[in-house]
A and B are shown apart, each in its own frame.
Chain A
Amino acid sequence: MIPVLLIVIPLVSGLLGFLIKEEKSVKVWSLFTSILTMVVAILGIAFLHKPEYLQTDVAWLPSLGSRFSLTMDGMSKLMCLLTGIAYPGIFIATWNATYRNANKFYALMLLMQTGLMGVFVASDALLFYFFWELALIPAYFLCSIWGGERRIAVTFKFFIYTFVGSLLMLVGIIWIYFHTADRSFAMSAFYNVNLPGNVQGWLFWLFFLAFAIKIPLWPFHTWQPDTYEQSPTAVTMVLSGIMVKMGVFGILRWLAPVLPVGLWGWGDPAASMCVIGMIYASFVAMQQDDLKRLIAYSSIAHMGLMGLAIFVTSSIGIQGVMVQMFNHGINIIGLWIVVELIERQFGTRKMSELGGLAQKAPSLAIMLVVVALANVALPLTNAFIGEFMMFNGVFGSKASNYHYIFMVAGGISIILSAIYTLNMIQKVLYGNTSTLTANARDIRVNEKFVLVVLLIGIVVMGVYPKPMIEATKHAVDAIYSKMFIKLP
């Protein structure tokens, strides 16, 4: 029931949104329906624990053995919660932004939410693929119509990149389908399929490419900074806060438990790619002057760590990834909100043209500092617990022979991330005011509201992460047991 609602509410409201012509009403409408979705998501996660509320299973393609089956386990719940909370937050934070053809913009945003929710709750491989692609189409139109100057070429690159990955994954899905016991796309059938090690090896790459492009891992990351930079900020928030998590989520749900031997065999090369990406992205981030690009590269580094924690196969690492998927989503959306506020007020995102904001706009400054420090995983912030668990997992990994090297390299990238983040804070908030920032004013009430809620969330989750860990504990155990049970 709950997962169906999570898909249907945004779908229907998105389709209706196309019909609402007036800008103000469509804004109110999408905010209202996204809050509705959020309420449903919270209900499903916090209060309704009976399995019949959290599962749906109807016949879809009987001749193919594919069912419209949705399930919410701990990991799904967390991601649905993130998607549910993020949307109203994004809508409120960008309330003052104006778009040409606003109704289409908001309608496509809501349709994208449908795809995202679908990916997180689908427990049928074909259905998963369906939603995986459906989330991409609205993103393509959103970025291409409302993006910056180079939007068309950049978004096209993004689309083709991800499409190649998805198609390779589709080949993998079909291959496994033919080797399931009773020719079924169901998740349970996929989990119980027994494939020889070498087959798992090359199937691993088919799936891995799809997810690696989405996350994105080095060297498949080249679409990401451009797309983040060119997209309208609201879309960037969804892309970086939620959509890239689809890749990590996909690995945890459809790669690790299905092809454990493949992952075990190729874990080290994959982990190496993550580590190289982390360090490389951190160095590139240090060179950036544009705030959006800086955050984009910092996101590559942080997502790389999540990949690393999965590929070294450790229980606590996976636990950390789940927690971090949620927290990173919150933090990076917070960062984008601040960047959006800065850009809208001063018309620039260049750090060299900003400065001295701490005096002129103290609230904005506090927000930026807290969110940025959360992004570098300072203790007491939410990201700390996730990154700590992931590093713990990498350190104690039994599956990888090189985990100490990964550990050290990952640690270096965290240090680098502190350097570029603090450097950013310094350049934007302190120093002399420039001509642009001389008359800066502080942020509006609605923006303050979203940011304060975010800050409270960041601190509360940083101090008391227990509910999140408990909610996902079961999912972690399920995945980890699948990953380890079949190891030769």
Chain B
Amino acid sequence: MNAIVISAVLGVVMMFSGVLTNSKTAVRTVAIIGLLGLIVANVLDMGGYHFFNVNVKGMLSFDVFGLLFNTIAFASTWIYFLLSGRDMERVGINLAEYFALIFFVLCGIAIVSSFNSLLMLFLGIEIISIPLYILTGSDKRNLKSNEAALKYFLMGSFSTGIMLMGITLLYGVKGSFDMDVIRAGTTSLTPMITAGLLLLLFAMSFKVSAAPFHFWTPDAYDGSPTVFTSFMATIVKVAGFIAFIRLFEGCFGDVKGQWQLLAAIITAATLFIGNITAVFQQSVKRMLSYSSIAQAGFMLFALVAMNDMAKEGMIFYAAAYSLATIGIFAILLKMKDYTFEGFNGLAKRQPVLAATNTIFLLSLAGIPATAGFWAKFYMLSAAINDGKVLWLVIVGVLCAAISVYYYFRVIQAMYFKDGEPQDIETSKGFRGLLIGIAAVVVLLGIFPHWLLDQLSNFLYL
């Protein structure tokens, strides 16, 4: 509860901070400190210090899994603020509002990580989505940004409609929005429940951009200001997964055998389409959009397998993927040319940027000794442990090999090709922070149990 209330309050505070001061530094500082406070409050919540004792009538349930995810999402956002906060200033004049919108998104994330009622799911998803529509279109004078926002909005509201229909059908059968009620007694799929399940599956697939519902993703990600793409493609996306898994485990966990194959097919399609299409991109930003679809495919493994290992792995994946992608986007933001050629010869001019970018890309590709390896390892293990979807595992590893192709194109451009010198200005603090994140990625890659044992301790207390 701490996180939901405080993030909403912080959103309002940020809105007014824009009225009270004109100093961009001040606004940014307030946002960074406020977010830090949010993280602390959430961690205290995990430790049993609940600031607000609101009776939610069982519509929300704050288990450690969700709270832990909140911590990771907030911490990633904090790093994102530190790395890219300055770049938000360049989007437009309403800096305070951007921060406010992001805090509202975080509020939505805190809801979808703890909902216990389908109404709350709907509310959380909407609270996440609406600020994002605005952020996507925040580059007002840019036609692409407008197009992206409109597309995102239309597709998003469409999928929300589908989701509502699904919820309604389930309500019609069970007479309740409560997930425990829906789960109880659902041992076989009646036509109504099947219809509800399918509609929810499709709607959530829309939200996490799983194939074949991914078509909005590249356009929305490519069109929106890069600094917000970074946020959308990482923290928001993994939040969608947490909601997805929570929903399907909570409502349909007992009939997993009956929808697992469908989920596996969606996963395979997502992996395949995301990876193959990413290969053909010429712009790194667009490549990262497709890479986010490809990575979504791997995160869907958690939905397909849905065992303890999968849930642990999902959290780890969220951390590994967000850290690496935020880092890459922060570097991309400094580039003037978003094509692969734009990265040519970066290693000579900006050795720190090139080296850290390499570590992030290796992590996304899942090379050992980076956090990304364990993320993939856990997802593969979860699916192998499940035992029924071994074909999906093979598809997964082959797609992981394909992903090496487009991630390494950036590395090749940076290290092996000579390019026109570009003036890139980076501050010492920025470079230091990048090194810090890269160090975390590598340390998590060698000692993943620093994070994983925390997870197991929390999950199996």
Q: Could you tell me which A residues sit within 8 Å of B by CB distance?
A: 60-64, 129-130, 133-134, 137, 141, 144-145, 151-152, 156, 159-160, 163-164, 167-168, 170-171, 174-175, 177-178
User: Min CB distance, B423 to chain A, in Å?
Assistant: 23
User: Once bound together, how far apart are the Cα atoms of A227 and B258, in whole Å?
Assistant: 48
10 more contacts with CB within 8 A, not counting A62-B449, A160-B405, A171-B393, are A60-B449, A130-B369, A144-B416, A145-B415, A145-B416, A151-B416, A152-B412, A152-B416, A156-B412, A163-B401
User: Once bound together, how far apart are the Cα atoms of A163 and B400, in whole Å?
Assistant: 9
**Which residues of chain B from 383 to 398 have a CB within 8 Å of any chain A CB?**
384-385, 390, 393-394, 397-398
B contact residues around A167 at 8 Å (CB)? 397-398, 400-401
User: Once bound together, how far apart are the Cα atoms of A324 and B318, in whole Å?
Assistant: 47
Q: Are B453 and A62 in contact (CB under 8 A)?
A: yes
Q: Are A170 and B377 in contact (CB under 8 A)?
A: yes
B contact residues around A61 at 8 Å (CB)? 448-449, 452
Q: Could you tell me which B residues sit within 8 Å of A by CB distance?
A: 362, 367-369, 377, 380-381, 384-385, 390, 393-394, 397-398, 400-401, 404-405, 408, 412, 415-417, 448-449, 452-453, 456
Contact check: which of A134, A145, A170 meets B369 at CB < 8 Å?
A134
In the complex formed, the residue of B with least CB distance to A175 is: B384
Knowing A63-B449, A63-B453, A129-B368 touch, does A174 contact B381 (C-beta < 8 A)?
A: yes
Q: Are A144 and B367 in contact (CB under 8 A)?
A: no
User: Once bound together, how far apart are the Cα atoms of A170 and B373, in whole Å?
Assistant: 11
B contact residues around A163 at 8 Å (CB)? 401, 404
Q: Are A174 and B384 in contact (CB under 8 A)?
A: yes
User: Min CB distance, A332 to chain B, in Å?
Assistant: 27
User: Min CB distance, A48 to chain B, in Å?
Assistant: 28
User: Once bound together, how far apart are the Cα atoms of A134 and B401, in whole Å?
Assistant: 16
User: Once bound together, how far apart are the Cα atoms of A163 and B405, in whole Å?
Assistant: 11
User: Once bound together, how far apart are the Cα atoms of A443 and B235, in whole Å?
Assistant: 62
Q: Are B452 and A164 in contact (CB under 8 A)?
A: no
User: Once bound together, how far apart are the Cα atoms of A232 and B98, in whole Å?
Assistant: 52
- Complex A-B: 18 CB contacts under 8 Å: A60-B449, A63-B456, A64-B449, A134-B368, A134-B369, A137-B362, A145-B415, A145-B416, A156-B408, A160-B401, A167-B401, A168-B394, A170-B377, A170-B380, A171-B384, A174-B377, A177-B381, A178-B381
Knowing A62-B449, A129-B368 touch, does A160 contact B404 (C-beta < 8 A)?
A: yes
Knowing A63-B453, A134-B368, A178-B384 touch, does A168 contact B412 (C-beta < 8 A)?
A: no
Top 6 closest pairs, chain A to chain B, by CB = A167-B397, A133-B368, A164-B401, A130-B368, A174-B384, A174-B381
Q: Are B397 and A170 in contact (CB under 8 A)?
A: yes
B contact residues around A156 at 8 Å (CB)? 405, 408, 412
User: Once bound together, how far apart are the Cα atoms of A175 and B408, in whole Å?
Assistant: 28
B contact residues around A129 at 8 Å (CB)? 368
User: Once bound together, how far apart are the Cα atoms of A159 and B281, in whole Å?
Assistant: 21
User: Once bound together, how far apart are the Cα atoms of A339 and B405, in whole Å?
Assistant: 33
User: Min CB distance, B409 to chain A, in Å?
Assistant: 9
User: Min CB distance, B415 to chain A, in Å?
Assistant: 6
B contact residues around A145 at 8 Å (CB)? 415-416
User: Once bound together, how far apart are the Cα atoms of A141 and B415, in whole Å?
Assistant: 9
User: Once bound together, how far apart are the Cα atoms of A160 and B401, in whole Å?
Assistant: 7
B contact residues around A170 at 8 Å (CB)? 377, 380, 397
B contact residues around A178 at 8 Å (CB)? 381, 384-385
A contact residues around B452 at 8 Å (CB)? 61, 63
In the complex formed, the residue of A with least CB distance to B384 is: A174
User: Once bound together, how far apart are the Cα atoms of A374 and B380, in whole Å?
Assistant: 46
B contact residues around A144 at 8 Å (CB)? 412, 415-416
Q: Are B449 and A164 in contact (CB under 8 A)?
A: no
B contact residues around A62 at 8 Å (CB)? 449, 453
What is the interface of chain B mostly: helix, strand, loop, or mixed? helix
User: Min CB distance, B458 to chain A, in Å?
Assistant: 12
Q: Among A159, A163, A164, find the residue whose CB has the most chain B CB atoms closer than 10 A.
A: A163
User: Min CB distance, A189 to chain B, in Å?
Assistant: 16
User: Min CB distance, B444 to chain A, in Å?
Assistant: 12
User: Min CB distance, B46 to chain A, in Å?
Assistant: 19
A contact residues around B417 at 8 Å (CB)? 152
A contact residues around B416 at 8 Å (CB)? 144-145, 151-152
In the complex formed, the residue of A with least CB distance to B393 is: A171
B contact residues around A133 at 8 Å (CB)? 367-369
User: Min CB distance, A114 to chain B, in Å?
Assistant: 11
User: Once bound together, how far apart are the Cα atoms of A163 and B398, in whole Å?
Assistant: 9
B contact residues around A168 at 8 Å (CB)? 394, 397
User: Once bound together, how far apart are the Cα atoms of A163 and B408, in whole Å?
Assistant: 12
Q: Among A129, A145, A159, A175, find the residue whose CB has the most chain B CB atoms closer than 10 A.
A: A175
B contact residues around A174 at 8 Å (CB)? 377, 380-381, 384
Q: Are B385 and A137 in contact (CB under 8 A)?
A: no
User: Min CB distance, A88 to chain B, in Å?
Assistant: 26
In the complex formed, the residue of A with least CB distance to B455 is: A63
A contact residues around B397 at 8 Å (CB)? 164, 167-168, 170-171
User: Once bound together, how far apart are the Cα atoms of A137 and B453, in whole Å?
Assistant: 28
Q: Among B368, B401, B408, find the residue whose CB has the most chain A CB atoms closer than 10 A.
A: B368
User: Min CB distance, A10 to chain B, in Å?
Assistant: 15
User: Once bound together, how far apart are the Cα atoms of A177 and B415, in whole Å?
Assistant: 38
Q: Among B377, B401, B449, B452, find the residue whose CB has the most chain A CB atoms closer than 10 A.
A: B401
B contact residues around A152 at 8 Å (CB)? 412, 416-417
User: Once bound together, how far apart are the Cα atoms of A205 and B362, in whole Å?
Assistant: 27
B contact residues around A64 at 8 Å (CB)? 449
B contact residues around A60 at 8 Å (CB)? 449
B contact residues around A63 at 8 Å (CB)? 449, 452-453, 456
In the complex formed, the residue of A with least CB distance to B397 is: A167
In the complex formed, the residue of A with least CB distance to B401 is: A164
User: Once bound together, how far apart are the Cα atoms of A171 and B362, in whole Å?
Assistant: 19
User: Once bound together, how far apart are the Cα atoms of A64 and B377, in whole Å?
Assistant: 11
In the complex formed, the residue of B with least CB distance to A206 is: B394
User: Min CB distance, A409 to chain B, in Å?
Assistant: 32
A contact residues around B401 at 8 Å (CB)? 160, 163-164, 167
User: Min CB distance, A231 to chain B, in Å?
Assistant: 14
In the complex formed, the residue of B with least CB distance to A176 is: B384
User: Min CB distance, A353 to chain B, in Å?
Assistant: 29
User: Min CB distance, B382 to chain A, in Å?
Assistant: 10
User: Min CB distance, B401 to chain A, in Å?
Assistant: 4
User: Min CB distance, A470 to chain B, in Å?
Assistant: 35
In the complex formed, the residue of B with least CB distance to A151 is: B416
Knowing A160-B401, A168-B397, A171-B384 touch, does A137 contact B367 (C-beta < 8 A)?
A: yes
B contact residues around A159 at 8 Å (CB)? 404, 408
A contact residues around B381 at 8 Å (CB)? 174, 177-178
User: Once bound together, how far apart are the Cα atoms of A280 and B7, in whole Å?
Assistant: 68
Q: Are B398 and A164 in contact (CB under 8 A)?
A: yes
In the complex formed, the residue of B with least CB distance to A183 is: B385
User: Once bound together, how far apart are the Cα atoms of A217 and B339, in whole Å?
Assistant: 38
User: Min CB distance, B358 to chain A, in Å?
Assistant: 9
User: Min CB distance, B453 to chain A, in Å?
Assistant: 6
In the complex formed, the residue of A with least CB distance to B378 is: A64
User: Once bound together, how far apart are the Cα atoms of A152 and B393, in whole Å?
Assistant: 30
User: Once bound together, how far apart are the Cα atoms of A141 and B404, in whole Å?
Assistant: 14
In the complex formed, the residue of A with least CB distance to B398 is: A164
User: Once bound together, how far apart are the Cα atoms of A154 and B338, in whole Å?
Assistant: 26
User: Once bound together, how far apart are the Cα atoms of A137 and B415, in whole Å?
Assistant: 14
User: Once bound together, how far apart are the Cα atoms of A131 and B397, in whole Å?
Assistant: 19
A contact residues around B408 at 8 Å (CB)? 156, 159
Contact check: which of A130, A137, A171 meets B394 at CB < 8 Å?
A171
User: Once bound together, how far apart are the Cα atoms of A216 and B385, in whole Å?
Assistant: 31
User: Min CB distance, B457 to chain A, in Å?
Assistant: 10
A contact residues around B448 at 8 Å (CB)? 61
In the complex formed, the residue of A with least CB distance to B387 is: A178
User: Once bound together, how far apart are the Cα atoms of A170 and B456, in whole Å?
Assistant: 23
A contact residues around B393 at 8 Å (CB)? 171
B contact residues around A151 at 8 Å (CB)? 416
User: Once bound together, how far apart are the Cα atoms of A171 and B393, in whole Å?
Assistant: 8
In the complex formed, the residue of B with least CB distance to A164 is: B401
A contact residues around B362 at 8 Å (CB)? 137
A contact residues around B415 at 8 Å (CB)? 141, 144-145
